[in-house]
Structure 1
Amino acid sequence: MLKKLILTFLSLFCGILLYGQSVVTGYVYDDANGNGRRDRREQGISGVSVSNGVQVTKTDESGRYELPVGADNIIFVIKPSGYAVPVDENNLPQFYYIHKPNGSPALKYGGVAATGALPKAVDFPLTKREEPNDFTALIFGDPQPYTDEDMENFNRGVVAEVKAIPNVAFGLSLGDLVGDNLSMHEAYRNTVAQIGVPWYNLMGNHDMDYDAPADSLADETYEASFGPANYAFNYGNAHFIVLDDILYPDPRDGSGYWGGFRKDQLDFVENNLKHVSTDKLIVLAFHIPLLHNNEDAFRDADRQRLFDLLKDYPYTLSMSAHTHLQRQNFYGREAGWRQDKPHHEYNAGTTSGDWYSGELDERGVPVSTMRDGTPKGYAFLRISGNQYVIDYKVANEPNEFQIKLFHPKVVAQGRSTSSGIFANFFMGHEGNKVEYRVGNGDWKPMNYVEAPDPDFVRLLYRWDTTEELMPGRRPSNAVNSTHLWRANIPTNLPVGEHRIEVRATDMFGRTFTQQSTYRLAEPPIAQ
């Protein structure tokens, strides 16, 4: 027995010596012929950042780098502007090498197979690519299919629509790529591959290994499918930082999850930013929004350290998803932001909408309007230098559809009414200028309200009052919308039809309009 224990200890000790801490070296090089191998005449590229997930180093004049590694690291190159990384058959960028000599711990969905000892060199090929400072990225929130039927609805309802869109540099999904069943990662990869552009991803709480013994191991199967959960890349004059912001298990009680970052993740952000010019646009992407109320949804100390690291960067944007709502969050000095201009977080609407619920459209795809009245859809992040604008595109609707109106169809002339005109401005937020007029009358301001969208409530009542089951699934209950405006509906106009026009100006100074009509009728005479 003693001999067996000694042999076991020696085996573990030797494993620690072999894999516990060593050094990885290699080259970042110009892959001129695109074959993915460093040929003798292909030159190294100097000044490129490479990371082991915490430390970040720059390649020397010959393109060589050196980094420490342990028994669980992913080594990756931080793509510089003007270069492209290879993509695989599913258009997933291949910018990393997984180093897990012993593989993942035993997990339901497998994680990463043992990679064995480090190779002699871990090289990263890049190819020169014209990369303008003005470009567009396609942004998906929460595809989150739980079933093959959901995946097909994602494919038919969103992916089929964006396949034809030109001039998109790359795509990014903001987590919850699937709904808990991690074996569906393959079907998700195959589906987004059809879009035909390089596609980046990040991890959501429904992409985790729920049987992982620690937060640092909750991303093992995600890593096997998509690579590192924390990474960065450059495009044009923008620097993207992608992070896993789910703490699992929740460190407060060991149950569920909490929004936040581990120290090693924020160390990576700090080390990475040492090599990033302050004139760049810093785009942070993660799943859970930074917004919280007394730390109910996010650990404040982590948010504060992130804000501290960004204090010298005047051009920033955060993007998140998770809520299956759409809203604009702004963080000023009272929230710990260290600059006078508040930090903007776009909490994106989702491609799954309200989890593929609702009535079916003419194609048999669930309409899936979200609980705040935002229709399901996707976004375009349009970057020009270090400035940006965001366009939300409602799936299966024209680009111009940015406002949904709700009001009575007919109102009694001359009678006061508590009915109103409601405008849900999907990309709006409190403080936006939203106005209305009836016919050719004067423009008047609408009042911002935080209330359920009455049009979404109307959809719910259809499910709750029907006497026959409808195809599809009842949506979730309504919640207050953060982009809803109200005005009184005029009844002192002539009998007949009247045009309502609403115009709304977004945070980028662009104005959108929507029109509808209602009818004034003479009040019926009681018999």
Structure 2
Amino acid sequence: MKPTIKQLWGALLLMPLLWACHEETPGDASDLAAETIVVSGAEGYRKQTFAEGARIITDRAYKVTNVPDYFNGFEMLTSKGKANNGGTITTRMDGLVYIVAPASAKPQGWAVVPNTIYQDRDMMYATADQEVKLSVYMKRAYAGKPVEIPQVTTFASAVPIARKIVYDVPEEPLATSSVQGTVRCNGTPVKDVVVSDGELTTTTDENGKYVLHSWKRTGYVFISVPSGYEVPADGLIPRNFVRLDGADEEVADFELTEADNDEFTLFVMNDIHLSNTKETDDVQRFRKEFAPDYAAMLAQTPGKVYATVLGDMTTDTRWYRNNFALPEYLGEMERVAGAIPIWHVMGNHDNDIRCSGPSEVWDALAVETYRRVIGPNYYSFNLGQWHFVVLDDIVYTGANAYNTYVEDVQLGWLEKDLSHVDAATPVVVMTHAPLYRYSGMADGVLLANKNFSNPDQVDWLLEKFAKFEQVHIMSGHTHTNYYCKISDRITEHNNISVSGSSWQILGPEKPQLSKDGTPVGYTIYRFNGKQMTRHYKATGRDADECQFIVYDLNTVPATYGGNAGSNQLLVNVYNWDPAWTVKVRENGTEIPVVQSWCPDPLYSLAAEGVTGLSSAFLPGTGVPHMFVATASAPDSSVEAEVTDGAGNKWTQTVTRPKAFTWDMQ
């Protein structure tokens, strides 16, 4: 009697188990089993467990479902952001080897393991708009003879699975070119300064000297400016880096000056979006509104003062149309009275849209103009007792198209950079796009969601900071102002924009707001030892005058979120975080305050009728820093009191009914 198909497949599935039990030579049986494989000749895999929810590609949120029971718990080499990593599989004993690939791939010489015969279900992964059926494929392998991992034409690659995988990552040969130099302060060598080319790091010796065997792919070498020192600047650009010309041997020296910066102030600005657009008159408004305000605050701030811009200094789509790009932005910032050097962060709108090539290399090309005009798009420096890390979390994929995450080369550099930093050192991470964003409320609790293109990429980045006791993320991009406590160790502050809705809301009678109702401005951070506090500053307003606004919802039209007859007060606390308290008193008696998720009424009024307003700035977006109190009468006297985590207190007395007008405070 001939065996049935089902019996044949059953025998095939048992073969690896039989081979694993047959040990022909002494030693560890697991090392001799057919299910132990060595993967060589490939780079870019990430090992993980093949189980329900495993990622089929690491930079995508494509998770496997319906994993066959037999293979559940195997090790898998997931493709690390590439469609086909290639390489070979070698076994120490004869047996079957396995790969996972789309069912439609049908790689030549590989047979499908018919898992659906036994489980009546299909293994899948899901994209945004479809489900892709997966199969486990098998092939006979002989001890010591490599089996090529097949290339597949569909999006997901063929990935190896086995009971045990030894992943042999080939080492890149040492670069034959080098860069060396000395770091000095007033002629004296400075020891232990971290030097990097964007891939490798080293430190200076007792003579202040360093040597890097570098491939020079970024075109420069930079230092992580040590605490207690500063670097000279060319205009607004700190010279923490030296450009390289690509010669086999190059010299790059650095000069430091001593600075007592254990206490300092940091001005944080972002999303300036200068473009010289006639319709918005952005440059003239920047000169009249922002520049004098910023200059005045610089002049009146005592002690050491530094500045950063968290990306989107310009608008990429207007670089060539309006003849206004990064050099012109620098010119405008240099016009500010008392302008100081700026630590820049790259934003999505700071890429060059005239680069060309396939999408997978667009980011590497589009960044070159920024590197030429501004400098490194990721680097680190130290101020006082703090370590600052600047990251580029925009991966440009085409003209005005991008993903948000930190790519692998940068993550590799980050790991090396942080290896030189003590775990007790507080860290500030500066990015353009936020890691987290609020999406609403449930049962009175704000819902914070990971904001990278693939949520898992947020975890991969934060893993690099696991040893640190205190990590603060500063981001921009959203043009709003919010604070998110990610964990007891990690917080994120998404900072308000200078341009509001990218200067699109016009007219002297209209308040310049961001879509969360926060007036345009910037944030001033104070550092003292390991302590940090922050203060929101509205452009054109006194620093303590504009911290919150109170709406009388009885007088706000329903179109803008009002609720006639409700006697409700809506308090928008622009710079709120969980350490803040919000109190409302009616005729001297405190009444309950409840955090809410709703749009800002005044922004809805300001945005009304604006022609061509970008979709990102349409009104109606919920705001995480809203609070509601219900009074007992429509005309009672109300006092709102807001206190921040440092004990600073602001109060506002509201005479009701309070009119809803353009110029309300």
TM-score of the aligned structures, taking structure 2 as reference length = 0.62
2:581 to 433, 451, 461: 433
1:76 to 213, 222, 225: 222
- For the residues of structure 1 that align with 2:527 and 2:216, how far apart are their CA atoms? 39
- For the residues of structure 2 that align with 1:129 and 1:71, how far apart are their CA atoms? 31
- For the residues of structure 2 that align with 1:386 and 1:477, how far apart are their CA atoms? 39
- For the residues of structure 1 that align with 2:631 and 2:402, how far apart are their CA atoms? 46
- The aligned counterpart of 2:293 is 161
- 1:237–1:422 Cα change, 3 Å: same
Q: Does the 8 Å contact 2:349/2:400 carry over to 1?
A: no
- 1:222–1:29 Cα change, 3 Å: same
User: Superposed, which structure 2 residues align to 1:84-99 within 5 Å?
Assistant: 84-88=230-234, 90-99=235-244
Shift of 1:371: 1.0
Q: Does the 8 Å contact 1:435/1:443 carry over to 2?
A: yes
Q: Does the 8 Å contact 2:436/2:449 carry over to 1?
A: no
- For the residues of structure 2 that align with 1:379 and 1:184, how far apart are their CA atoms? 25
- 1:429–1:234 Cα change, 3 Å: closer
- The aligned counterpart of 1:26 is 181
Shift of 1:66: 0.8
- The aligned counterpart of 1:385 is 529
Kindly provide the CA deviation profile for residues 317-372 of structure 1, in whole angstroms up to 9, marking residues without a partner as x.
0000001111112223xxxxxxxx1511000110001111334348xxx7431111
Shift of 1:506: 3.0
- For the residues of structure 2 that align with 1:284 and 1:510, how far apart are their CA atoms? 26
- The aligned counterpart of 2:99 is none
- The aligned counterpart of 1:353 is 500
1:64 to 206, 209, 230: 209
Amino acid at match of 1:208: N
- For the residues of structure 2 that align with 1:67 and 1:374, how far apart are their CA atoms? 47
- For the residues of structure 1 that align with 2:480 and 2:657, how far apart are their CA atoms? 33
Matched, 1:227 2:375: yes
- For the residues of structure 2 that align with 1:70 and 1:155, how far apart are their CA atoms? 43
What's the secondary structure of 1:249's corresponding residue?
strand
Shift of 1:247: 1.5
- For the residues of structure 2 that align with 1:291 and 1:64, how far apart are their CA atoms? 41
- For the residues of structure 2 that align with 1:243 and 1:154, how far apart are their CA atoms? 27
Shift of 1:179: 0.7
- The aligned counterpart of 1:35 is none
Amino acid at match of 1:394: A
- For the residues of structure 2 that align with 1:200 and 1:24, how far apart are their CA atoms? 24
Deviates more, 1:284-293 or 1:385-394: 284-293
- 1:485–1:295 Cα change, 3 Å: closer
- The aligned counterpart of 1:315 is 470
- The aligned counterpart of 2:114 is none
Shift of 1:222: 0.6
1:189 to 307, 327, 330: 330
Q: Which entry has the higher C-alpha Rg, 1 or 2?
A: 2
Amino acid at match of 1:169: V
- For the residues of structure 2 that align with 1:309 and 1:120, how far apart are their CA atoms? 31
- 1:116–1:264 Cα change, 3 Å: closer
User: Superposed, which structure 2 residues align to 1:350-499 within 5 Å?
Assistant: 350-361=497-508, 367-400=511-544, 401-407=546-552, 417-429=565-577, 432-439=580-587, 441-461=588-608, 463=609, 476-491=618-633, 498-499=636-637
What's the secondary structure of 2:416's corresponding residue?
helix
- 1:304–1:409 Cα change, 3 Å: closer
What's the secondary structure of 2:423's corresponding residue?
coil
Shift of 1:118: 5.9
Q: Does the 8 Å contact 1:409/1:517 carry over to 2?
A: no
Amino acid at match of 1:386: K
- The aligned counterpart of 2:346 is 203
- 1:486–1:161 Cα change, 3 Å: same
Ranges in structure 2 where 5+ consecutive residues have no aligned partner: 1-173, 438-447, 557-563, 659-665
1:261 to 400, 406, 417: 406
What's the secondary structure of 1:257's corresponding residue?
strand
1:179 to 298, 304, 315: 315
Superposition CA RMSD, Å = 2.8
Kindly provide the CA deviation profile for residues 295-333 of structure 1, in whole angstroms up to 9, marking residues without a partner as x.
76433343222221211111110000001111112223x
Amino acid at match of 1:140: M
- For the residues of structure 2 that align with 1:312 and 1:498, how far apart are their CA atoms? 53
Q: Does the 8 Å contact 1:281/1:385 carry over to 2?
A: no
- The aligned counterpart of 1:145 is 274
What's the secondary structure of 1:350's corresponding residue?
coil
2:259 to 108, 129, 138: 129
Shift of 1:505: 2.8
Kindly provide the CA deviation profile for residues 75-108 of structure 1, in whole angstroms up to 9, marking residues without a partner as x.
00111111110111x2320111223xxxxxxxxx
Q: Which structure shows the bigger proportion of residues in strand conformation?
A: 2
Amino acid at match of 2:211: E
Shift of 1:459: 3.1
- For the residues of structure 2 that align with 1:232 and 1:296, how far apart are their CA atoms? 23
Kindly provide the CA deviation profile for residues 393-417 of structure 1, in whole angstroms up to 9, marking residues without a partner as x.
1111111210111115879xxxx92
Amino acid at match of 1:324: H
- The aligned counterpart of 1:501 is 639
Ranges in structure 1 where 5+ consecutive residues have no aligned partner: 1-18, 33-41, 100-114, 333-340, 521-527
- For the residues of structure 2 that align with 1:519 and 1:451, how far apart are their CA atoms? 21
Q: Does the 8 Å contact 1:357/1:368 carry over to 2?
A: no
Amino acid at match of 1:260: Y
What's the secondary structure of 2:401's corresponding residue?
coil
Q: Does the 8 Å contact 1:357/1:367 carry over to 2?
A: no
- For the residues of structure 2 that align with 1:53 and 1:475, how far apart are their CA atoms? 35
Matched, 1:344 2:491: yes
Shift of 1:475: 6.8
Between the two structures, name the one with larger relative contact order (CA 8 Å, sep ≥ 6): 1
- For the residues of structure 2 that align with 1:143 and 1:119, how far apart are their CA atoms? 40
- For the residues of structure 1 that align with 2:400 and 2:519, how far apart are their CA atoms? 33
- 1:78–1:475 Cα change, 3 Å: closer
- The aligned counterpart of 1:287 is 432
What's the secondary structure of 1:163's corresponding residue?
helix
